[in-house]
Every structure is written in structure tokens, then in C-alpha cells.
Amino acid sequence: MFESKRILGIDPGLTRCGIGVVHGTVGRPPKFVAVGVVRTNSELTLPERLVRLEEGLEQWFDEQQPDYVAIERVFAQHNTVSVIDTAQAAGVAALVAARRRLPVAFHTPSEVKAAVTGSGRAGKEQVTTMVTSILRLSAPPRPADAADALALAVCHAWRGGHTNRYAAPVAAAQGRS
């Protein structure tokens, strides 16, 4: 049997970085802990925005004390600037977790959608509806980035990180340092 852990899900973004925290394990309904976003001002320089993102994430990690971190894997889109910004935000999130020696798992959007809705092609509204139901929330989490972050945490809780081919090498590398 798997022990219940606190999982911090991150939907990376430079303008809005969704954060969702659940307490859960494989085979059990996860329990809602917290949800929110870290925002950065688009008028700041890129380095300043990355620092603001790091500061916001550090605060979430300090307050929530997660056992695991689940980050959405960045995938190629038509808008390369958006992909680069998202990848940089994901890198900052992974760095904050790695400094704390926390295991980090990367889940693809379709993996998360399939875990939460049963379909890897589900739309954002369907993901939000299912997250609201699964976690027994009184209202849907807003904005969508926050709902997506909760979906990441739920996905990781249910899968336990065992289906993620990147989790074991990251954990092994962290153990060597």
C-alpha cells in the first residue's frame, strides 16, 4: 500500500503559473489542500519575471511543504515564444524543487487529461469540471491554470509517479548529490 503524500502540481507559465496542492495516494480519492497562481508583470524584463516567479514558488513551497512535485511537461506549439516562456517557467519550478531535494515528475497534458477525465483529448472546461468533482470543491478553481495545476497533482497522486519514465532518473540523480 502506498503512503499518502502532499503533492504540489505546477502548470508552468510566465504570466500565470498555476499551483495546486493535494494530499493523496494511489487508489484513494485525493484531498484538496490549496490552489492559486503566481503572477508576473509582463512589463518587467524576462530575468526580473523569472526571479519573481522563483520568489512566488519558494513561498508556496515554504507554506505547503510538499513531498512530491508534478510539473506539466512542455510540448511544442505553433507559438515558439510561448513555448520558450513556458519552458523557462518549468525550469524555474524544477530548480526550486531540486534545491529542496524533492522528487520531480513531468506529466504530459494528455496524460493528465486522461487520468482526470478518462480522455487524453478532453478540453479545459472538462478538466476543470472533473477536478471540481474529484476534489469535492464547492466552486471550480479559477483561472484555468489553477485547475490544471490541481489536475497535475491529482494525476500524480493516482499514478504514484510509477508511469513516469523520468521520475526514477531524477530521483537517482538527486540521491547522488
**Residues involved in catalysis:** 11, 72, 145
Instruction: Give the number of C-alpha atoms closer than 13 A to the C-alpha of residue 25, restricted to the C-beta side.
Output: 5
Q: In this structure, is the dihedral angle defined by the CA atoms of residues 58, 59, 62 and 65, taken in order, positive or negative?
A: negative
Question: Pick from 165, 69, 62: which is nearest to 111 by CA?
Answer: 165
Using a 10 angstrom Cβ sphere, with 0-12 exposed, 13-18 middle and 19 or more buried, the burial of residue 114 is middle
Quote the cell numbers at residue 57.
514558488
Helix or strand run (H / E) with residue 20 = strand 16-24
Helix or strand run (H / E) with residue 6 = strand 5-11
